[in-house]
Amino acid sequence: MSKIILETRSLTKHYGGVHALEDANFTLLDGEHVAVVGDNGAGKSTFVRQITGVEQRTAGQIFFDGAEVNHGGPLEARESGIETVFQTLALADDLDVPSNLYLGREIIKFNLGPFSILDRKAMKARTLEALQKTAVKIPNVDNPIRNMSGGQRQCVAIARAAAFASKLIIMDEPTAALGVQETAQVENIIRGLKERGVPLILVSHNLRQVFDLVDRIVVFRRGRIVASLRSDETDGNDIVSYITGVKGNADAAVA
Amino acid sequence: MAKTDSGLGGLKYDPSKRARPPELNVFFALVGIVVIFEVLGRLIYGDSFLFNTRDNVDTLFNNQRLQVIILQVSIVGIIALGVTQVIITGGIDLSSGSIVGATAMITMSFAQTWLVNGNPNPKAIFGEAWMDLPVIVPVVVGLSCGMIAGLINGALIAYTRIPPFIATLGMMVSARGLSKWWSNGNPISFPTEGYAAIGKGLNPVLIFVGLAILFYCIMNYTKYGKHCYAIGSNEDAARMSGINVKNHKILVYAIAGTLAAAAAIVVSSKNLTAQAGMGVMYELDAIAMAVIGGISLQGGRGSILGTVLGALIFGVIISGFTFLKLDAFYQEMVKGVIIVGAVVLDQWRQQSRARGK
Ligand SMILES: Nc1ncnc2c1ncn2[C@@H]1O[C@H](COP(=O)(O)OP(=O)(O)OP(=O)(O)O)[C@@H](O)[C@H]1O
Ligand SMILES: [Mg+2]
């Protein structure tokens, strides 16, 4: 059995009186792809924000790669090897693709502090390499990404996460508002990650997609994890009944 | 999986059909405006705007007029280089004109000579011990003043999160107050020969061009430049990517302040005097140059090259109005129209881009 890459114990987040996340016990194995599903407001994004250090949790523990972690911000999480594709994408529209991939971690030719000279050739070459792996369609990577389609932009954000050979990738609704083709493209990238053995947490409302892609499905309901099911041992109706609360309760066993 | 050809993922891409760089449009505008003045000049006065028409001078162009144009825009152009960086990060700097006034007063006080025609300097600010200092002293003092003013602007904007418009408006008023208080409103004159040499002849142009090349390189080839565009484009994304947005903003405003001080040194040296009212409206002229040069006030777009071209357009228009013997009132009115027009043009461009045209 492969080792556990991420584990949360009794992870809890309250926003004032709102119990957005309660006592979440979650484990992710190395190389495993897990989907997080649940109704609007079930606490999925909240869960992601705690793991990625965007917010500070109310209670509980997070173990990552064998040690307990306390990420003070998204940067620390990224440096420890967690790459995130946020719902908002976090792209700079006026910059070209290489600049976006390397934003905040530029390759430097000559170090002069803040005025360090950029190695644009190296960044472009590695960007093309990274993008080819993702099979994204972009006519010219030197154009600002402002003019690119939603799918292309999404792919740039995902390629950025995928390129930096990280230990864990989290995607919060990466295909929301994407067309059929673009969605297929993103799904291809995710399959590529699976082949490379990079573990993934995928937040999604698309059950068809979830069953296609992941090993395990974790259902959130009203801030609690109510089910954790292997995708080949369950079906859509089963998941829906957990999501809607027909089945399961807060004490459901968690793998 | 799709195969990769010229574009990624098999998409066709024809590099020869790339969109024109926006600077080229600004350049065309510059040429167009010169042609308009040329035609008007020939129609109204039978005189040429661009070419030499005097028999006793053997040059193709009217070099005198061209010199006046570039000399005129050099000083405000230096400020515009800093303003360009500020606007690219999504900010605005209204304080540069007042920083020119305050630093000119302070700098000139350290640049005075003791004996004027054998008599003690009638405008002396400090005692004899502070006179005839090597030129490096006023220059360093001046640049430091500008930098400090810029640091204050930047720190206010980064840490109190007040809008740049308000922070620099405060600095604009305060720095102007300082320049009036400094010598109770009296002009400061009689600089050392060394100081006077800075702004002699075409030196202001050389300084402007040198700084423009320096900042062109910085904005295009360094991390600093990349981060300016990133912050102006999407500040949250920049922060999430690990850019220290606060420090970067402070640095940008400090550079803008330092450039305003450089302009103050050049203009006070050129005029051999400093007055409390120096630099009034320079901030707006500098912003106008950047805007004419195609900068986007939303941040993220614009360039040093565009601003230099914008500065030239600005100079050509002023000079063209003088050439057509139009009153200064008209010049100011039209200047306002041009600024607003350039911003409206930018909005249209953005809207048509959004519609995919
Ligand atoms: N900053 C906040 N302050 C107060 N309440 C919040 C905050 N963020 C989230 N919440 C609340 O926490 C709950 C969980 O929100 P969350 O964003 O995690 O839902 P979600 O499962 O991601 O939903 P969706 O599918 O719509 O993205 C919601 O009731 C939401 O209103
Ligand atoms: Mg969400």
In chain B, how many H helices and how many E strands? 13, 4
Q: What is residue A89's predicted lDDT score, i.e. its pLDDT?
A: 77
From residue A243, give the alpha-carbon distance in Å to each of A23, A39, A45, A217.
Answer: 18, 6, 16, 11
Residue A74, classed as helix, strand or coil, is helix
Please check whether residue A250 lies inside any domain of the structure: no
Kindly state whether residue B13 falls inside one of the protein's structural domains: no
- Owner of token pair 């999604």: A204
Q: Are A226 and A250 in contact (CB under 8 A)?
A: yes
- B5, part of any domain: no
Q: Give the model's pLDDT for residue B8.
A: 61
What per-residue confidence (pLDDT) applies to A254?
A: 47
Is the per-residue pLDDT at A249 higher than 70? no
- A200 CA from centroid of ligand 2 (Å): 16
Give the total residue count for chain B.
357
In a domain, A253, yes or no: no
Q: Is A129 among the domain residues?
A: yes
ipTM: 0.84
Atom of ligand 1 nearest to the CA of A49: 18
* Helix%, strand%, coil% for chain B, nearest 5: 70, 5, 30
Chain B contact set for A138 (CB, 8 A)? 7-9, 11
Residue bearing tokens 């065309």: B28
CATH number of domain containing A235: 3.40.50.300
- Under DSSP, is residue A251 helix (H, G, I), strand (E, B) or coil? coil
Instruction: Decide if B214 is inside a domain.
Output: yes
Ligand 1 site, residue A18, Cβ cutoff 6 A = yes
Evaluate whether residue B58 is within a structural domain: no
Q: Is residue A40 part of a domain?
A: yes
Q: What's the CATH number where B72 sits?
A: 1.10.3470
Q: Report yes or no on A177 lying in a domain.
A: yes
Per-residue pLDDT of chain B (357 residues; tens, 9 = 90+): 333 344 565 556 655 556 678 889 899 999 999 999 999 999 998 888 888 877 777 788 888 888 888 988 999 999 999 999 999 999 999 999 999 999 999 999 999 998 888 888 888 888 888 889 999 999 999 999 999 999 999 999 999 989 999 999 999 999 999 999 999 989 999 999 999 999 999 999 999 999 999 999 999 999 999 999 999 999 989 988 889 999 999 999 999 999 999 999 999 999 999 999 999 999 999 999 999 999 998 899 999 999 999 999 999 998 898 888 888 888 888 888 887 887 888 788 777 766 554
Q: Are B252 and B84 in contact (CB under 8 A)?
A: no
Residue of B nearest to A161 (CA): B241
In a domain, B181, yes or no: yes
Q: Give kind and range of the element (H or E) at residue A98.
A: helix A97-101
Pairs of CB atoms within 8 A across A/B: 103
Beta bridge partners of A228: A218
Structural domain contains residue A62: yes
Helix (H/G/I), strand (E/B), else coil: B251 = helix
Predicted confidence (pLDDT) at residue A60 exceeds the cutoff of 90: yes
For B164, residues 6+ apart whose C-beta sits below 8 A from its C-beta are: B86, B91, B92, B93, B153, B157
Distance, CA of B30 to CA of A18 (rounded, Å): 60
Say if the Cβ atoms of B230 and A92 lie within 8 Å.
Answer: yes
Q: Is the pLDDT of residue A255 over 70?
A: no
The domain of A65 spans 4-244
> CA B185, B188, B192 angle in degrees (round to 5)?
170
Does residue B319 lie within any of the structural domains? yes
Distance CA B128, CA B134 (A): 14
In a domain, A249, yes or no: no
- pLDDT of residue A20 exceeding 90: yes
**Whether A147 and B353 lie within 8 Å, measured CB to CB:** yes
Task: Give the whole-angstrom CA distance, residue A215 versus residue A229.
Answer: 9
Question: Angle between the B96-109 and B63-88 helix axes, to the nearest 10 degrees?
Answer: 110
Q: Are B315 and B338 in contact (CB under 8 A)?
A: no
In a domain, B35, yes or no: yes
> How many structural domains are present in chain A?
1
Q: A5: which 2 tokens?
A: 């890459």
Q: How far is B159 from chain A (nearest CA, A)?
A: 18
Other Cβ atoms less than 10 A from the Cβ of A42: the count is 22
- Nearest one of A130, A204, A194, A200 to A169, comparing CA atoms: A200
B7 falls within a domain: no
- B37 to chain A, any CB pair closer than 8 A? The answer is no
Contacts of B318 (CB under 8 A, 6+ apart): B69, B72, B331, B335
Partners of residue B240 in chain A, C-beta under 8 Å: 74-75, 86, 90
Phi and psi of B36, rounded to 5°?
Answer: -60, -45
CA distance B100 to chain A (A): 26
Q: Residue A253: its pLDDT value, please?
A: 46
Give the tokens for residue A39. 């109704």
At B254 the pLDDT is: 98
Instruction: Identify whether the C-beta of residue A93 lies closer than 8 Å to the C-beta of residue A144.
Output: yes
Distance CA(B186)–CA(A251), nearest Å, equals 82
Q: Which domain holds residue B315?
A: 23-39+63-343
Q: Report the alpha-carbon distance of residue A103 to residue B239 in Å, rounded.
A: 10
Beta strands in B129-206 (DSSP E): 188-189
Which atom, in ligand 1's list, is nearest to the CA of A55? Answer: 1
Please indicate, yes or no, if residue A251 is contained in any of the structural domains: no
What would the mean pLDDT of A160-183 be, rounded to a whole number?
84
A135 touches chain B (CB under 8 A): yes
Q: Give the residue, by CA position, lying nearest to ligand 1 atom 4.
A: A15
- Per DSSP (E only), the strands in chain B are 115-116, 119-120, 188-189, 273-274
**Number of domains composing chain B:** 1
CB B291 within 8 A of CB B339: yes
